[in-house]
Amino acid sequence: QQPVQSPQAVILREGEDAVINCSSSKALYSVHWYRQKHGEAPVFLMILLKGGEQKGHEKISASFNEKKQQSSLYLTASQLSYSGTYFCGTEFANRDDKIIFGKGTRLHILP
């Protein structure tokens, strides 16, 4: 049931773009995205609630394809502060109140 994130790790130079994918084997109600810095708690980025919904937060945006049970996180013109591990959390369509996270994608931005 754990969603699958890809890639597992990404190394970018500052200013480059990245896409992180999250796919589920079960129908989804919502997808959460969080970023975690080393030694800290995860921090909320955004939630996507319905098929085709796209959200943005400065240069970080995301989309949700309900039919494909997938979400993608887009980081544009990456900054050093974007480094960290990104997690998607999924709530299934049966609304069982669980939020199940993927294994995470490690993002490292080089100056």
Partner 1 sequence: NAGVTQTPKFRILKIGQSMTLQCAQDMNHNYMYWYRQDPGMGLKLIYYSVGAGITDKGEVPNGYNVSRSTTEDFPLRLELAAPSQTSVYFCASSYSDRAPGEKLFFGSGTQLSVL
Q: Which residues bind partner 1 (CB under 8 A)?
A: 1-2, 29-30, 32, 34, 40-44, 47, 49, 87, 89, 95, 97-104
Tell me whether residue 1 or residue 111 sits nearer to partner 1 (CB atom).
1
Q: Is the dihedral of CA 22, 33, 100, 109 positive or negative?
A: positive
For residues 25 and 11, is the Cβ–Cβ distance under 8 A? no
Is 49 or 80 the residue whose CB approaches partner 1 more closely? 49
| Closest distance of CB 46 from partner 1, Å | 8
Closest to partner 1 by CB, 77 vs 94, is: 94
Q: How far apart are CA 71 and CA 63, in angstroms?
A: 6
> Minimum CB separation from partner 1 for residue 13, in Å?
24
Which candidate, 73, 72, 67, places its Cα nearest to that of 93?
Answer: 67
CA distance 34 to 44: 5
- Select 50 or 80, whichever has its Cβ closest to partner 1: 50
Minimum CB separation from partner 1 for residue 47, in Å? 5
Q: Which residues pair with 90 in a beta bridge?
A: 31, 100
